[in-house]
Amino acid sequence: MINTTKSLMNLSYNKEAKIIQIQGGRGFQSKLRVMGIREGQKIKIISRQPFRGPITISINGCQMTLGRGMAHRIIVEEL
């Protein structure tokens, strides 16, 4: 079996993935959970801004932007 877990930043456009783990401290994890980003949710990258700008994601039918540093700490499994 091939390991398909990776950072959210390494996910391809419009590929759906399931959040496996959120790496970081309690405050960071709490902030993401308040935004609706938690383990088990399906997530998709809609766009990436150039010059190390933020990414736009789709989760629970909502679109929001995340910084690349935050996205690197979200571990997903491609579906």
| All structural domains of the chain with their residue ranges | 5-78
The reported pLDDT for the residue numbered 2 is: 59
Residue 66 has pLDDT above 70, yes or no: yes
Handedness of CA 62, 74, 6, 76 (dihedral sign): negative
Q: Integer distance in angstroms from the first to the last C-alpha of the chain?
A: 14
Find the mean pLDDT for residues 52-78: 92
Residue 3 pLDDT grade (very low, low, confident, very high; cuts 50, 70, 90):
low
Q: What is the pLDDT of residues 11-56, one digit of tens each?
A: 888 889 999 999 999 999 999 999 899 999 999 999 988 888 899 9
Question: Which of the listed CATH numbers 2.30.30.90, 3.30.420.40, 1.10.1750.10, 1.10.40.30 matches domain 5-78?
Answer: 2.30.30.90
